[in-house]
Structure 1
Amino acid sequence: MKTALLIGSVAATLTATTLSAQDVKWRVTSDYPSKSHVGASFTAMAEELSRLTDGGFTLELNLDGSLGFKAADNFEVVRDGVVEVAETGAAALIGYEQVFGVVGLPFVAPTNDDVQRMMAIVTPEFQAAFENHDQIMIGWGTFPAVGIFGKHKMTSVEDFAGVKIRTYDSFSANAFSEVGATPVQLAWSDVVPSLSSGVIDAVLTSSVGGATIKAWDLGITDFSDIGYSTPVTLLHVSRDAFDDLPEKYQDALIQAGKVYTETNWTAAQAAIETFKAAFRENGITIHETADDALKARFGEISRQSAAEWVKQAGPKGEALFNQIQNK
């Protein structure tokens, strides 16, 4: 969906709402549910921002895709001033700046400690990349590590033969093609209709994603928790809108972005066992160990993906990746 078309379709409802230097309302867009950990993060952010400004700076939370934007639209609608705030998965931003791809490399940051360390390293580079597009990154979030929801277990190379699996970027598409699956790259909003119609029969996503769509009601019987990667979403705002704020509101927004990050991380981690319990209660079997042959194959894929990314990202990307890998 092109930004120009989006602007035309929502212009009637998206007029500027800055009423005065002390009465500011910004619009947030996200296609994640209001009851998800993303929704909780935005709610905490909005409450902190209102508290710090005595109600003078508020956020209008348009979650559940209520403005009609998909995640892939968010970068452009913030850049073009259609809305002021959005969160976008790093994987969706590779076409704008190669550096965003580093967090999507398969099996590079398999543990929570790995993810926290990686984000500490890459955040300054990500902030610089957003600045190149008239935006400011003020926070980030994660989902639990990605696994596979399917109609049988997928813990060996043979289990992937002929499986039509939803992927979400070039790395995941290549990884599962390499083990014999048929990747179908889909936005999250297209997953449920694609499962229902047979376009796909497996979904690469986190436990949060599987619970959100009630995978057990869509023919899913197994969750293979292979720790493919940890999805990272980036919280970004319009540079022009930020510059128009009084300094005290700018400071409050930066602090509220930190609250978003803290809330997101805590809520995402707390949700993991809750979701797995829901899977078991609804008949989904959880598989937590891949066999040795699949682990070895995934190791090869990880190295290949990293080498390809470094080739495209250049010397700066190579230095960043080596830092993440402690080389």
Structure 2
Amino acid sequence: MKTILQTVLAVVGLALGSGSAAAQTEWLMASGYPESNYFTQNIRTFIEEVGANSDLQIELAPNDTLIKLDAIKTAVQRGQVQMGEIRLGVYSNEDPMYELEALPFVAPTYADAWLLKDLQREYFDTLMTEAGLRVLFYAPWPGQGFYTRDEVTAVSGFSGKKLRIFSAPTQRMGEMMGFEATILPFAEVPQAFSTGLIDSLFTSPQTGIDIQAWDNTKYFMKVGAMYSKNAVIVSESYWEELSPETQEVVLAAAKRAELRGWEMSAKADAEQTGVLAQNGMTVTEASEEVVGRMTEVGDALLEDWRGKASPEAIAVLDRYLALR
């Protein structure tokens, strides 16, 4: 009898253990930035909150270790990973809305960028639904600036410099400012410096720190001008497999992550130019001439944008401009 009872308890224990394992859902997420980047830190906190309050466990593969940043959206669509972090401006060839906030001085403050994000949300939701995706939250980059090897105080100083930028609109901006502009993924920037493909950057202080820009440039001219966004996305098919209770936990954590991400960006914007200076870089504010020229470029690019955007996208822009 004792042996039978021990056997029954062992079987029950195995069944309970199996049921517990089956109840836990494991997802894989890809992102493109190192652990020191506030985007990654924010995602880590989001993942911890989800794991602590639901049966969903998410493993993060950061810093392009699993999938390159520019390929993450496709990987999520194909089901290679359940989740990913993307940079919206990468997909401007799919819809002009992806590049709107990357046009100079369209949304030049955090308040403007937050308003634009809220007004874009429904439009992006439609685009993502059509692609079999869902956006969980958005987070912005700090204001942008020019990294150069020698000091530049006037627009004429940009002429002929080889500039790395990150999107089609910033490539056009660079060209209109006098640069030879090239779009390159984040991970390829150090090698591009070493081979002479580039000698300048237009990017945020965060990216400058991530790639140790002081190894290849000596001056950072802060412009601001734009606060482009990243988005954390999930495959809709995998999302639908989650229980309603788990979905509620994820959405609540995503709401906190979105606000936290904007707060972290604003804090980084205030602190990171100091990190550049501590590493020997000279940090300056853009001159009135540079800001004036970039504003002219932004106006021209915005008119071009209107010419290729859908009526629905233009309606979002017009509503934003009326409320700003």
What TM-score, normalized to structure 2? 0.90
Which residue of the partner structure matches residue 117 of structure 1? 115
2:272 pairs with one of 275, 287, 298: 275
Which residue of the partner structure matches residue 298 of structure 1? 294
Which residue of the partner structure matches residue 265 of structure 1? 262
2:312 pairs with one of 298, 311, 316: 316
Which of the pair is proportionally richer in helix? 2
Q: Shift in Å at residue 20 of structure 1?
A: 6.2
CA contact (8 A) 2:306 2:314 kept: yes
Which residue of the partner structure matches residue 162 of structure 1? 160
Q: Shift in Å at residue 227 of structure 1?
A: 1.4
- Superposed CA deviations along residues 80-126 of structure 1, whole A, max 9, x for unmatched, are 11101111111012222332222222211111111111111111111
Which residue of the partner structure matches residue 61 of structure 1? 60
- Give the root-mean-square deviation of aligned CA atoms: 1.6
Which residue of the partner structure matches residue 27 of structure 1? 28
**Residue 38 of structure 2 aligns to which amino acid in structure 1?**
H
Which residue of the partner structure matches residue 250 of structure 2? 253
Q: Shift in Å at residue 221 of structure 1?
A: 0.6
Match runs of 1:116-195 below 5 Å: 116-195=114-193
CA 1:107–1:21: 2 relative to 1, 3 Å: farther
Q: Highest CA radius of gyration, 1 or 2?
A: 2
Instruction: Determine the C-alpha separation between the residues in 2 that align with 1:82 and 1:58.
Output: 17
Instruction: Determine the C-alpha separation between the residues in 1 that align with 2:39 and 2:234.
Output: 16
CA contact (8 A) 1:21 1:245 kept: no
Instruction: Determine the C-alpha separation between the residues in 1 that align with 2:263 and 2:291.
Output: 29
The answer to whether the aligner puts 1:232 opposite 2:229 as a matched pair is: yes
Give % identity.
22
What TM-score, normalized to structure 1? 0.89
Q: Shift in Å at residue 192 of structure 1?
A: 1.0
Instruction: Determine the C-alpha separation between the residues in 2 that align with 1:325 and 1:286.
Output: 32
2:321 pairs with one of 319, 322, 325: 325
Q: Shift in Å at residue 64 of structure 1?
A: 1.4
Instruction: Determine the C-alpha separation between the residues in 2 that align with 1:285 and 1:300.
Output: 26
Q: Shift in Å at residue 169 of structure 1?
A: 1.2
- Superposed CA deviations along residues 127-177 of structure 1, whole A, max 9, x for unmatched, are 111011000011011111111111123442111111100011111111111
Q: Shift in Å at residue 259 of structure 1?
A: 2.6
Q: Please state whether the residue corresponding to 1:141 is helix, strand or coil.
A: strand
CA contact (8 A) 2:123 2:313 kept: no
The answer to whether the aligner puts 1:201 opposite 2:199 as a matched pair is: yes
CA contact (8 A) 2:163 2:181 kept: yes
Q: Please state whether the residue corresponding to 1:65 is helix, strand or coil.
A: coil
**Residue 202 of structure 2 aligns to which amino acid in structure 1?**
L
Match runs of 1:213-224 below 5 Å: 213-218=211-216, 220-224=217-221
Which residue of the partner structure matches residue 44 of structure 2? 43
- Superposed CA deviations along residues 41-99 of structure 1, whole A, max 9, x for unmatched, are 1111111101221xx211101111111x2111011100111101111111012222332
Q: Please state whether the residue corresponding to 1:326 is helix, strand or coil.
A: helix
Q: Shift in Å at residue 256 of structure 1?
A: 2.0
CA contact (8 A) 1:168 1:185 kept: yes
Instruction: Determine the C-alpha separation between the residues in 1 that align with 2:21 and 2:236.
Output: 18
Further displaced range: 264-273 or 317-326: 264-273
**Residue 313 of structure 1 aligns to which amino acid in structure 2?**
A
CA contact (8 A) 1:48 1:259 kept: no
Instruction: Determine the C-alpha separation between the residues in 2 that align with 1:134 and 1:285.
Output: 46
Instruction: Determine the C-alpha separation between the residues in 1 that align with 2:34 and 2:129.
Output: 28
CA 1:135–1:108: 2 relative to 1, 3 Å: same
Which residue of the partner structure matches residue 11 of structure 2? none
**Residue 188 of structure 1 aligns to which amino acid in structure 2?**
F
Q: Please state whether the residue corresponding to 2:136 is helix, strand or coil.
A: strand
CA contact (8 A) 1:40 1:263 kept: no
**Unmatched tracts of structure 2, length 5 or more:** 1-19
Matched residue pairs, number? 304
